[in-house]
Structure 1
């Protein structure tokens, strides 16, 4: 379908703005972690749940989006999501306990999880094919780049006004977008009375929650049967049953036939693992910089700021670059540059200069900016006819693995640091080993690219 009407453009712009504001809340809390630990008397592993639970709920909310977009009008979905986000932000602002803060974060993530896939679906359903790369680059910016700017903004707000003002800021901006949506959104896609398969919905929640809880609790409970092993088993079993059920029922929550396309699978795995890296580093670097190297929250945020900016630039350039020189070469360059950045991070110490920390994150930012958006766009383009289900699968995989990434990164750092990340050599060593883990994951991305990623021309010829 050609993009021909003004209402469609207005709707897409409002969706992009809404996604930008809600997605930045994903990581804006990372520079607040030491303050949560102090104010609520909790460990670093517990504090990181303000970040991880957001990613977890995103993963839980994304599977039913294929159903939601088929069943309900876009305006109804948009307004509902924004109201959920505003209520969550107000709860976080007023929270008198860590539990209330977590409830607020869950509501924020529910709103974000509903919003995020709609824009991608609109792009493939409304825009002409030659515009997919540009607009998917923009959505890639929201998925991977806007959260990277969160620590910078969060650090500045915390140093100036305190951590609660972060949520006041989010609520006010989102309310303005809600007001605009009520009066300006008029474009709609066709809807149908598509049934919601509740068993599939429950299974999707179980496998998301089970895997996330199991990985996250390793830091505090080791390999406890009840806190770690059992949730992981439940999550794995639920995932297996979920997949079997989707292949069996007539109206599945997610149509998994797109997984028969090996190119879609390769692109989705690449994007998910890269997102694992990005989410893990967004938590690990502020913890190292503030707790080990003794920089302020603002300085911590500013160290990540150039990486966020350069990712923005390369996120827009990379889809165009992939069209010109091929997706394979772009993703190879992404992996190689990321490895260089992580090698630099392995040399961090308690006296690392601000400039060195900044430059190494800048290198990593280039690598991530080159990889995420082209991988997502390439994966979606090869199955554009089933974009609703493909979007649900791609986003679910990325968000669940991203949530695991942030948890696993903190878990590994904390375990290797002897249980407490602070100003000592063992904490430095723990960060170095965590960076080595990121190098190994990036090497896997390189292998995937070389063996399984093909340029569109080669796919057509094959």
Structure 2
């Protein structure tokens, strides 16, 4: 009886820790999605150009991506409590500065502070969940992160648009500040430490090489879609990024205590889970970027209508994430990931045939089923890969996985936007609408091909482990 009480108390304590941390991550993810609808208002208020305004998003993405590889060191060096409180305090400070900013420079600094915090929080919560729960319960626990990833982007743009129209763009950030402060206070009293800490020395050259390497790649791919692949800035940035990334990788393989333990990529499950995650993330860009363009430029939908088309899918994805996590715990990764990738690929392929006659209901249905498939892929595949690692390597696994997905998203954006614009230009003689649709068909065709590759990899390499079979037999 005492054993049952202790187990129940431990479970409740773990749930409380996850709830507190997920609340912080939710705010960080929400913060990433609220800026776009506010950009026109910010540009007018601060007297900046569209190019300057875009840096508020680009700088956030760059700093976020640069911070993620360093998080493995932070997670292993500092306690959960220290790192979470520091990150949330940094996030709250950055958000407060953003809300009070009266010029572009101050707002940009605020976005950088927010990005530094956000870059730590997501890998951190993945690591904490995997350390708190035994392998047979990790799927359901990791599924809770899916709720955050789906719901925050779903409500962010709509919430932002309403707040900006009602009270101005500063209010978006000022409304988030008290919520962040509440989470800091609650976590100060309730958050406990998870896992062990190691007094390792920070390898400064690795940090420099990582920053220039990953930063160069992310920035290079982010501007390739706009500037073109042969623009001098694109070429120089990508060469610089690739060069420093090679130096970074070679250094990590030689160090006794590397900043990022790349040797774990030799673990087959983790390697293939990372590859599948990267391909899926690259393919998803077709939906998140090109679909709104199609809705507004071809079908003449308003921004609000475009958001409503994509809202049911995001909400369903959030609802399904814990469910698919439990299915992973019960049956393992193979069946659920193959089904999810099949749905994702098949319904992405539907968009190859879209035209100006499609209705709100048609697009909404296809988009929703597509995200339903995604819910069966993301967390189950990530959990499968991270489960194969020793506990002391999980922080490195989370950092590598998140960094890889960031880079894949940037590459996917650059490639798919380039394909769309190139094919559109080649078909200008067919008229604006038809040429635009041709470009979008080509981009979605490429995304469908990427989905098929991920599906093939899952069929060949995602297997049931002995652990999965033991649970299934039970």
TM range, smaller chain: 0.7 to 0.9
User: Which segment is superposed worse, 88-97 or 392-401?
Assistant: 88-97
User: Is the CA contact 2:43–2:53 (under 8 Å) kept in the aligned structure 1?
Assistant: yes
Q: How does 1:2-401 map to 2 (within 5 A)?
A: 4=10, 8-32=14-38, 50-95=56-101, 100-143=106-149, 146-158=152-164, 160-187=166-193, 189-224=195-230, 226-350=232-356, 352-385=358-391, 386-401=393-408
Moved more, 376-385 or 80-89: 80-89
- Alpha carbons of structure 1 residues 239 and 202: separation in structure 2 relative to 1, 3 Å: same
8 Å Cα contact 1:91-1:101 kept in structure 2: yes
**Does residue 1:447 correspond to 2:456, yes or no?**
yes
Q: How many residues align?
A: 459
Q: TM-score, normalised by structure 2?
A: 0.86
Worse overlay, 18-27 or 319-328: 319-328
Residue deviations 1:222-252, cap 9 Å, x none?
2345311111111112221111111101111
Alpha-carbon distance, 1:50 to partner = 4.3
User: What's the secondary structure of 2:32's corresponding residue?
Assistant: coil
RMSD across aligned positions (CA): 3.2
Q: Is the 8 A contact 2:140 2:329 kept in 1?
A: no
Secondary structure of the structure 2 residue equivalent to 1:252: coil
List alignment gaps of at least 5 residues for structure 1.
none
Deviates more, 1:214-223 or 1:132-141: 214-223
Task: State the distance in 2 between where 1:98 and 1:435 align.
Answer: 36
Question: Residue 440 of structure 2 corresponds to which residue in structure 1?
Answer: 431
Partner of 1:64, secondary structure, is helix
- Quote how far apart the aligned CAs of 1:362 are: 0.6
Query: Are 2:137 and 2:329, in contact at CA under 8 Å, matched by a contact in 1?
Result: no
Residues 370 and 460 from structure 1, CA distance in 2 versus in 1: closer, same or farther, beyond 3 angstroms? closer
**Residue 136 of structure 2 contacts residue 329 of structure 2 at CA under 8 Å; is this kept in 1?**
no
Q: How far off its partner does 1:306 sit?
A: 0.4
Provide TM-score, normalisation by structure 1. 0.88
> Do the aligned partners of residues 87 and 345 (structure 1) sit closer, same or farther apart at CA in structure 2, a change above 3 Å counting?
farther
- In structure 2, what is the Cα distance between the partners aligned to 1:44 and 1:363? 34
Using the alignment, how far apart are the partners of 1:230 and 1:314 within structure 2? 43
1 CA distance for matches of 2:9 and 2:282? Answer: 34
What's the CA shift for 1:437?
A: 2.0
SS at match of 1:259: helix
Q: SS of the residue aligned with 1:346?
A: helix
Equivalent pair of 1:61/1:110 in contact (CA under 8 Å):
yes
Give the Cα separation in 2 of the matches to 1:134 and 1:362. 22
Which deviates more from structure 2 when the two are superposed, residues 364-373 or residues 449-458? 449-458
- CA 1:92 to 1:418, structure 2 compared with 1: closer, same or farther past 3 Å? farther
Q: Spell out, residue by residue over 1:251-302, the C-alpha distance to the aligned partner (whole angstroms, 9 max, x if none).
A: 1101222111121100111122222333553233333323443322222221
CA distance in 2: counterparts of 1:374 and 1:327, whole angstroms: 6
Q: Does the aligned pair in 2 maintain the 1:11–1:187 contact within 8 Å?
A: no
Return 5+ residue gaps in structure 2 as ranges.
1-6
Report the Cα offset of residue 181 of structure 1: 2.1
1:343-369 per-residue CA deviation (whole Å, 9 max, x = no partner) reads 332333445422222112112111111
Could you say what secondary structure the match of 1:63 adopts? helix
**2:412 aligned to 401, 405, 408, which one?**
405
Between the aligned partners of 1:238 and 1:272, the Cα distance in structure 2 is 21
Question: Matches of 1:312 and 1:204 in 2, distance apart?
Answer: 33
Question: Matches of 2:24 and 2:132 in 1, distance apart?
Answer: 19
Mark the structure with the bigger radius of gyration: 2
- Partner deviation per Cα, 1:167-199 (whole Å, 9 max, x = no partner): 333333222212222333243543232111111
Task: Please say if residues 272 and 385 of structure 2, whose CA atoms lie closer than 8 Å, have aligned partners that are also in contact.
Answer: yes
Task: Please state how far the C-alpha of 1:27 moved relative to its aligned partner.
Answer: 2.8
Conserved 8 A contact 1:417-1:429: yes
C-alpha distance in 2 between matches for 1:36 and 1:348: 34
